[in-house]
A and B are shown apart, each in its own frame.
Chain A
């Protein structure tokens, strides 16, 4: 029976009583994101009264040490600060810790015993949410050990769910293998592949913008859109993650997941409902419509590069190969730009340019939709080019939407000047948007997979990306273009857009 007192409250549903089990409890993500998110959700009364967290990692910590680390994380990173002492006295007590290696069967027996004890103490009916905040190489063994320890149930009640952090595989083959490994013990509906970009308000607002307004969707097609640019630029370098990044490269790290998700919400057809499968069906359809890039034409569609030393935001920074622990002969890309074509009726012939890089002039993520010019330019003076109409959706920072258009300059002659019409989240809605992890963890607790990635989505996107990697593998001897840190990328990337008569935006 639903709780009648819940009706009408902003959170009409709270998750059923559960234990959140975090693998990798001593890690950075747990401290910076996961526990602060859970604390804030508790603060905002979004969680059930019967709720506990169990952290597991190889460090020989006890409950008190885990709580102290959690407190430090919340003091520094929680959205609602300072931490409420009264609340913390209850919340802190609900944090528990089990020490153990991920491949040690005895650790899972200890975990099982601890969960049984916590269930009895809090009145939790056995619901479990496992969060794998661990290196991808550990996913298979954790899943197998959980399954063999009898900690996974395929039943609906009590339920078991698992959140898997990216990277979800490193190519199509490994993604398929991981899916098979997960499905030995979990059903697809129990698996929540997380991409925190989908938890961002602005990415969700893209769907709201497109599907709750009548004015945009009629223009959102090949008849009116000239091109789309999606940029995810970072000013930082590899920040101590050189080993990971050297293996991954930015194509794996950013494009296969984040940028493709942004591409999907920008280009997909309207789903029949805002339900998990309806939305994900449309995303998969879009990914399947991406035109394969012939291997011999890869350079015409994909440009990769690596940053050299330069200046970013007024500071001198080393080149990628000079980063601490870096490989002086590295050919790992820190910049990638792609020209994609979508073979469907909506987008036939419209180029989608995707670009992401480290060490760009600033941190910015945006989607820019450039519309076709007016068919007859009767105000063009002295051959001045028309002002392009651009709808730009800024995802971070300073989230908002800007429409760029031409307007008459006051005066006796008709001169057209570009102007912006701006909507900014910060000034239009005073309320602070939740952190992406708050939204996503809560959704997983509630069993809503809409903002998570389905198995066929990840395999389709890897299918496309793996083809690029295969082509690059054949070009091993080819020199990798460079770009000075603090610039918008290599000259080679300009050619990618120039062919379409465009330039890269400088957002």
Chain B
């Protein structure tokens, strides 16, 4: 999976302010301009491609520089790369403070834009329609659900990219969630592990599919760990798991918890008893049980950035043998197992656009995420309760 370079995307029409009630007419007008504009004349095709309605909830649009040329630049680059790979009608919901309204009575504004991929052959391909709604203050936000419902393309699935902290209960979420088939969140966007409890609650209370980009970020590490147990006889050793050690940075705290929870749930350890941590670095310690079998689990936090996913070390003692994956630098890990000398490998982590693209594709449907999240939530809940 490769996200295309953003410089393949050209805007043939600058975004312009329109009345929210006139959004669809304005988009139709953009279509006509796309055909008529220089370079889009007779013989050249302008084709709309669309696979998803993608709602992007951005509660902090100011962070990229309010009103200036840098406004939304990072998000703009992300969406360009995502939508070139997966064409979508984008509905951007920007939550602004009330005092940023251009006029006191103005509660909501809209912009429409269309951008197209410039394929090598020179033929023009319109790939994206984008509608931005800016809501000013809480009254402005209250318009979002009705505006979204009015401008979704019919017969296409709906996904929401949630750029806020991990979602929990809230009026806006309650309104938007039932519209969506998928919600893309990032468990690494916050460094508090208790946030996983709220996500677990949400995941269990709705039929909407939650796609956790933080979980997907772990995919390369999961592949490598799984590979250690491919040689004949190694999978059996997972049944005799004796000790697990996870070390992460603060940023990788939730990722580490998810990785640990995945390992425990795949090895069928269901009951977890918190123990007192040993030493200054250790954050948590548990004893997990599967029937009469028990595994000791240590979870530590170290200072630093922690590279791609924030996980510095995952080490397993299974059947008396040591298996580990250790971060070497931002892009490489070292694998260790009884079957090979320590081996340095490139991690080939996914960049943000690739994560979102994967999340909107079949990789976003991961039947093991809910059960992993449930284990993570129970680990956190037990620990918090006993602290």
* Residue B4 lies at the interface, judged by CB distance under 8 Å to chain A: yes
* Residue A295 lies at the interface, judged by CB distance under 8 Å to chain B: no
Q: Indicate if the CB atoms of A45 and B49 lie closer than 8 Å.
A: no
Q: Indicate if the CB atoms of B345 and A86 lie closer than 8 Å.
A: yes
* Residue B363 lies at the interface, judged by CB distance under 8 Å to chain A: yes
Encode B198-240 as 1/0 by CB contact (under 8 A) with A: 0000000000000000000001101111111111101110100
* Residue A7 lies at the interface, judged by CB distance under 8 Å to chain B: yes
* Residue A49 lies at the interface, judged by CB distance under 8 Å to chain B: yes
* Residue A418 lies at the interface, judged by CB distance under 8 Å to chain B: no
- In the bound assembly, the distance between CA atoms of A106 and B159 in angstroms comes to 63
CB contact between B231 and one of A7, A9, A123 (< 8 Å): that residue: A123
Chain B residue, CB-CB nearest to A430: B85
- In the bound assembly, the distance between CA atoms of A45 and B345 in angstroms comes to 11
A1 partner residues in chain B, CB cutoff 8 A: 235-236
Q: Indicate if the CB atoms of A427 and B366 lie closer than 8 Å.
A: no
Q: Indicate if the CB atoms of B86 and A429 lie closer than 8 Å.
A: yes
CB contact between A430 and one of B1, B219, B232, B363 (< 8 Å): that residue: B1
Encode B315-346 as 1/0 by CB contact (under 8 A) with A: 00000000000000000100000011001111
Q: Indicate if the CB atoms of B339 and A49 lie closer than 8 Å.
A: yes
A430 partner residues in chain B, CB cutoff 8 A: 1-4, 84-86, 357
Given contacts A4-B235, A4-B266, A5-B238, contact A426 B119 (CB under 8 A): yes
Q: Indicate if the CB atoms of A86 and B346 lie closer than 8 Å.
A: yes
B63 partner residues in chain A, CB cutoff 8 A: none
Interface size class of B (residues with CB under 8 A): 35 or more
Given contacts A17-B232, A50-B231, A432-B2, contact A427 B117 (CB under 8 A): yes
Chain A residue, CB-CB nearest to B83: A430
* Residue B387 lies at the interface, judged by CB distance under 8 Å to chain A: no
Chain B residue, CB-CB nearest to A85: B346
Nearest chain A CB to B119's CB is how many angstroms away? 7
Q: Indicate if the CB atoms of B4 and A87 lie closer than 8 Å.
A: no
Q: Indicate if the CB atoms of A9 and B1 lie closer than 8 Å.
A: no
A49 partner residues in chain B, CB cutoff 8 A: 227-228, 230-231, 339-340
- In the bound assembly, the distance between CA atoms of A137 and B346 in angstroms comes to 42
Q: Indicate if the CB atoms of B332 and A17 lie closer than 8 Å.
A: no
CB contact between A428 and one of B49, B222, B224, B232 (< 8 Å): that residue: B49
- In the bound assembly, the distance between CA atoms of A84 and B229 in angstroms comes to 24
Nearest chain A CB to B132's CB is how many angstroms away? 23
- In the bound assembly, the distance between CA atoms of A424 and B126 in angstroms comes to 13
CB contact between A125 and one of B3, B224, B232 (< 8 Å): that residue: B232
- In the bound assembly, the distance between CA atoms of A8 and B332 in angstroms comes to 24
A87 partner residues in chain B, CB cutoff 8 A: 345-346
* Residue A6 lies at the interface, judged by CB distance under 8 Å to chain B: yes
A125 partner residues in chain B, CB cutoff 8 A: 232
* Residue A48 lies at the interface, judged by CB distance under 8 Å to chain B: yes
A14 partner residues in chain B, CB cutoff 8 A: 227, 230
* Residue A413 lies at the interface, judged by CB distance under 8 Å to chain B: no
Encode B357-375 as 1/0 by CB contact (under 8 A) with A: 1000111001110000000
CB contact between B229 and one of A5, A9, A17, A432 (< 8 Å): that residue: A5
Nearest chain B CB to A404's CB is how many angstroms away? 14
- In the bound assembly, the distance between CA atoms of A3 and B235 in angstroms comes to 5
Chain B residue, CB-CB nearest to A49: B227
Q: Indicate if the CB atoms of B238 and A4 lie closer than 8 Å.
A: yes
Q: Indicate if the CB atoms of B267 and A4 lie closer than 8 Å.
A: yes
Q: Indicate if the CB atoms of B222 and A5 lie closer than 8 Å.
A: yes
Chain A residue, CB-CB nearest to B234: A3
B339 partner residues in chain A, CB cutoff 8 A: 49-50, 123
Q: Indicate if the CB atoms of B230 and A43 lie closer than 8 Å.
A: no
Where chain B touches its partner, the secondary structure class is mixed
CB contact between A9 and one of B222, B267, B344, B345 (< 8 Å): that residue: B222
Nearest chain A CB to B198's CB is how many angstroms away? 24
CB contact between B85 and one of A2, A8, A43, A431 (< 8 Å): that residue: A431
- In the bound assembly, the distance between CA atoms of A430 and B6 in angstroms comes to 13
B344 partner residues in chain A, CB cutoff 8 A: 86
- In the bound assembly, the distance between CA atoms of A45 and B49 in angstroms comes to 32
Q: Indicate if the CB atoms of A428 and B267 lie closer than 8 Å.
A: no
Given contacts A86-B344, A87-B345, contact A3 B87 (CB under 8 A): no
Encode A1-24 as 1/0 by CB contact (under 8 A) with B: 111111111100010110000000
CB contact between A45 and one of B223, B332, B362, B366 (< 8 Å): that residue: B223
Q: Indicate if the CB atoms of B367 and A9 lie closer than 8 Å.
A: no
Chain A residue, CB-CB nearest to B225: A5
Q: Indicate if the CB atoms of A422 and B47 lie closer than 8 Å.
A: yes
- In the bound assembly, the distance between CA atoms of A424 and B266 in angstroms comes to 39
Given contacts A4-B266, A426-B119, A428-B87, contact A9 B230 (CB under 8 A): no
* Residue B248 lies at the interface, judged by CB distance under 8 Å to chain A: no
- In the bound assembly, the distance between CA atoms of A50 and B236 in angstroms comes to 17
Q: Indicate if the CB atoms of B232 and A8 lie closer than 8 Å.
A: no
Tell me the residues in window 231-289 of chain B with beta carbons closer than 8 Å to chain A beta carbons. 231-232, 234-236, 238, 263, 266-267
Tell me the residues in window 437-492 of chain A with beta carbons closer than 8 Å to chain B beta carbons. none
- Most chain-B Cβ atoms within 10 A of its Cβ — which of A7, A84, A426, A427? A427
- Most chain-A Cβ atoms within 10 A of its Cβ — which of B225, B228, B229? B229
* Residue A90 lies at the interface, judged by CB distance under 8 Å to chain B: yes
A84 partner residues in chain B, CB cutoff 8 A: 346, 348
- In the bound assembly, the distance between CA atoms of A3 and B125 in angstroms comes to 44
* Residue B153 lies at the interface, judged by CB distance under 8 Å to chain A: no
* Residue B127 lies at the interface, judged by CB distance under 8 Å to chain A: yes
Q: Indicate if the CB atoms of A427 and B357 lie closer than 8 Å.
A: no
Tell me the residues in window 322-336 of chain A with beta carbons closer than 8 Å to chain B beta carbons. none
Chain A residue, CB-CB nearest to B344: A86
Nearest chain B CB to A362's CB is how many angstroms away? 12
A16 partner residues in chain B, CB cutoff 8 A: 232
B343 partner residues in chain A, CB cutoff 8 A: 90
B236 partner residues in chain A, CB cutoff 8 A: 1
Encode A94-138 as 1/0 by CB contact (under 8 A) with B: 000000000000000000000000000001010000000000000
Q: Indicate if the CB atoms of B266 and A7 lie closer than 8 Å.
A: yes
CB contact between A8 and one of B224, B228, B368 (< 8 Å): that residue: B368
Given contacts A422-B47, A426-B119, contact A9 B223 (CB under 8 A): yes
A48 partner residues in chain B, CB cutoff 8 A: 227, 230-231
* Residue B75 lies at the interface, judged by CB distance under 8 Å to chain A: no
Nearest chain B CB to A87's CB is how many angstroms away? 6
Nearest chain A CB to B335's CB is how many angstroms away? 8
Q: Indicate if the CB atoms of A43 and B366 lie closer than 8 Å.
A: no
- In the bound assembly, the distance between CA atoms of A290 and B312 in angstroms comes to 62
* Residue B51 lies at the interface, judged by CB distance under 8 Å to chain A: yes
Nearest chain B CB to A442's CB is how many angstroms away? 15
A424 partner residues in chain B, CB cutoff 8 A: 47, 49
CB contact between B235 and one of A2, A43, A422, A426 (< 8 Å): that residue: A2
B362 partner residues in chain A, CB cutoff 8 A: 10
Q: Indicate if the CB atoms of B230 and A3 lie closer than 8 Å.
A: yes
Encode A45-71 as 1/0 by CB contact (under 8 A) with B: 100111000000000000000000000
Given contacts A4-B266, A5-B225, A9-B222, contact A431 B361 (CB under 8 A): yes
B230 partner residues in chain A, CB cutoff 8 A: 3, 6, 14, 17, 48-50
Chain B residue, CB-CB nearest to A87: B346
- In the bound assembly, the distance between CA atoms of A490 and B368 in angstroms comes to 59
Q: Could you give 18 example pairs across A and B, Cβ below 8 Å?
A: A4-B235, A4-B266, A7-B266, A8-B368, A9-B219, A9-B222, A17-B230, A49-B228, A50-B230, A50-B339, A86-B344, A86-B345, A86-B346, A87-B346, A426-B119, A428-B51, A429-B86, A431-B1
Given contacts A48-B230, A429-B85, A431-B361, 15 further A-B contacts (CB under 8 A): A5-B235, A8-B366, A9-B219, A10-B362, A17-B231, A43-B348, A48-B231, A90-B343, A123-B232, A422-B47, A424-B47, A427-B47, A427-B87, A430-B4, A430-B84
| The 8 nearest A-B residue pairs measured at CB | A430-B85, A5-B226, A8-B368, A3-B235, A4-B266, A427-B49, A86-B346, A431-B1
